[in-house]
Amino acid sequence: MSLDSPSAGRPETDVDVMIVGAGPTGLALAVDLVRRGVEVALIEEAPALPRESRGKGLQPRTMEVLEDLGVVDAILAHGEARQDISLYCDGRRVARLPAGLARSRSDLPYPNIVMIPQWCTTAVLADRLRELGAVVRFGTRLESFTVDNQAVRAVSTSPDGGRVEVTARFLVGCDGGHSLVRRILGLEFAGTSDEARCYLLGDVTVPGWEPEVGGAVRSHAWFGVDGSFLGLAGLPGAAQWQIGASVPVDDAVEPTLGSLQRLWDERTGHHEVRLAAATWLSNFRVNVRMVDTYRRGPVLLAGDAAHVHPPTGGQGMNTGIQDAYNLGWKLAACLDGHDDALLDSYQAERLPVARRALKQSTDILDVVTNRNPLVRFAVHRLLLPMLSRPALNRLLTARVSQIDIGYRDGPLAEGRSVGGRVRAGDRAPDAHLVDATGRPLRLFDLLRGPHWTLLLVGEAAAQHLDVEVLPDDVHAVMIADPQPTSFPGRVVGDRGRSFRRSYRARPGTAVLIRPDGYVRRCMTAPRADAVTASLGVDRAAGPDETRRPGGGRFRHTMRGVPR
């Protein structure tokens, strides 16, 4: 049986997409697909969403993704951008860092990392999924799957132990570093497990210590001359801290509150403080691994199932959510009739991002845990104290923000700059605009949703364009001052020259923006056929297929799965 064997026609299936794993990646993918009218089965082996802090920082680019998915207000209500970070070397405080103080700009609405425990992020996404009319099927374990006639036939076990068979057009493994989907595919998870870097983690209360003070989340990190580390990060709204401590390689330490207390006493000097009320305890070794193939036919991988990172730099969860955001619109397009070859662009665009994230997080870890005495001296006496400087702090935040991630070298980047700052493959920056009534709005307001956006810079950009024959999922918007009355689409003004500063696009330029907020193509005086040709790979579906207004084709009811 070949996982890549083509077949004529499309098989009848129970659901469009089956997603395995309801972590941040799986939930983000499910939300993105369901809002596009795609029928999804999201299964999770656990009986409920776990209450574990794990990934606790959302990067600026991820915040933009979450805004488009409709959850950013809930995230901001539960999270906190302002931080007060204290760093200690040999028991002495060497730096105090006020972080999260950057102001939003017209092109960057979320300039700071937002601190929020992972369990809260998943809860917000799960609430959004319910709002859209879908749910997580908890207590359901994937057992096996086969691929036949371009459909995936999956067998899982329901909460009552019954056997459930589901046929899906696509299956996406979002089931973490120990991914069963990856193992069934037989993909190598290449990389290393560093046996010398072991850590204990936990969510605890620290009596007498407040995780939030004055509207800022507090964090502490103790670095020892022997290369040891202990960190304490406040969890907003939870009255808890996430604690993490390195463990000597020859010390077989179990993840217990007592083990963490011993390391606390040894490294912080606060012997009077007794850690309490642990709600999550775990241990891990640093793994740096990734696959070299994200797709086998109709089966794909996303998030930790495809790549695992050291926690330094806050890249793992954010990279997974952005994997889902890149994949969602492409799956929906293929279900709506585009050739499945469009899915090859998912690996081409996201695999280099994972490779970069692995290197970045590993480099940071190598610096802060280096055992070379000279390197440790430089880090403890020079680098860490310098972090108190706001300019350097902002620079480091920008380097991990993922705002600069783009796909200029990817297969969907088409067309040159056409005299502008923003090129095909780049993230489309935000901008301040004004509508025909004088009401202020943001460019992101126009991009929000599962559609494509065609930005026309001035009337000259539309001189050869018949807006009426554009596909329904392309929203044409003209940016012009003064605003013309003859253009049949929406017209907005450039408030304070914000768009011009961000894009520097010449009059007559058109910028086609993908559903995931990246530039597909820059054109001069485009025609409708050229715009349509840039939406993806040519449609392969026959004329007799019935499609939903929101995207994918109608499907039958799932066999054996309760509604």
Average pLDDT over residues 12-18: 90
At the top level of CATH, the class of 432-533 is: alpha beta
Residue 97: its pLDDT value, please? 87
Nearest alpha-carbon partner for 198 in 87, 283, 88: 283
- Of the pLDDT bands very low, low, confident and very high (cuts 50, 70, 90), residue 370 is low
Going from N- to C-terminal start, the domains of the chain cover 15-79+116-189+291-369, 81-113+194-286+376-402, 432-533
Q: Are 453 and 461 in contact (CB under 8 A)?
A: no
Report H helices in 37-91. 60-68, 72-78
Question: φ and ψ at 198, to 5 degrees?
Answer: -115, 145
What's the rounded Cα separation, in Å, for the pair 154 and 182?
Answer: 14
Average pLDDT over residues 37-46: 98
Average pLDDT over residues 331-340: 94
* Helix, strand, coil percentages for the chain (3-state, nearest 5): 30, 30, 40
Domain 15-79+116-189+291-369 superfamily per CATH: FAD/NAD(P)-binding domain (3.50.50.60)
Residue 198: its pLDDT value, please? 86
Q: Are 173 and 305 in contact (CB under 8 A)?
A: yes
pLDDT tens-digit profile of 91-102?
889 888 888 988
- Of the pLDDT bands very low, low, confident and very high (cuts 50, 70, 90), residue 106 is very high
What's the rounded Cα separation, in Å, for the pair 210 and 335?
Answer: 50
Q: Are 499 and 422 in contact (CB under 8 A)?
A: no
pLDDT tens-digit profile of 134-168?
999 999 999 999 998 789 999 999 999 999 999 99
- Of the pLDDT bands very low, low, confident and very high (cuts 50, 70, 90), residue 360 is confident
Task: Say yes or no to pLDDT of 130 above 90.
Answer: yes
Give residues with Cβ within 8 angstroms of 147, minimum separation 6. Answer: 1, 2, 3, 5, 153, 296, 297, 298, 299
- As given in the structure block, the two tokens for residue 466 are 């018949």
- Name residue 184's beta-bridge partners: none
Give residues with Cβ within 8 angstroms of 421, minimum separation 6. Answer: 502, 503, 504, 505
3-state secondary structure of 150: coil
For residues 386 and 205, the model is more confident at 205
What's the rounded Cα separation, in Å, for the pair 439 and 483?
Answer: 14
Structure-token match 């996430």, residue found: 242
What's the rounded Cα separation, in Å, for the pair 400 and 357?
Answer: 9
Residue 72 CB-density burial (10 A; 0-12 exposed, 13-18 middle, 19+ buried): buried
Which percentage of the chain shows pLDDT scores above 70? 85
What one-character DSSP code corresponds to residue 492? E
Dihedral angle, C-alpha 303, 306, 311, 317, nearest 10 °: -10
DSSP string across 215-231? TEEEEEEEE-TTS-EEE
Task: Say yes or no to pLDDT of 541 above 60.
Answer: no
Q: What residue type is assigned to position 329 of the chain?
A: W
* pLDDT, averaged across the chain: 87
Question: Hey, CA dihedral for 398, 403, 408, 410, is it positive or negative?
Answer: positive
CATH architecture of the domain 81-113+194-286+376-402 equals 2-Layer Sandwich (3.30)
What one-character DSSP code corresponds to residue 22? -
Name the region of 402 (left: φ>0; alpha: ψ -120 to 50; beta: rest).
left
Nearest 5°: the CA angle 55, 61, 63 is 65
Burial 493-528 (b: 16+ CB within 10 A, else e): bbbeebbbbbbebbebbbbbbbbbbbbbbbbbebeb
What's the rounded Cα separation, in Å, for the pair 263 and 271?
Answer: 10
What one-character DSSP code corresponds to residue 539? B
Give residues with Cβ within 8 angstroms of 23, minimum separation 6. Answer: 122, 174, 176, 303, 304, 320
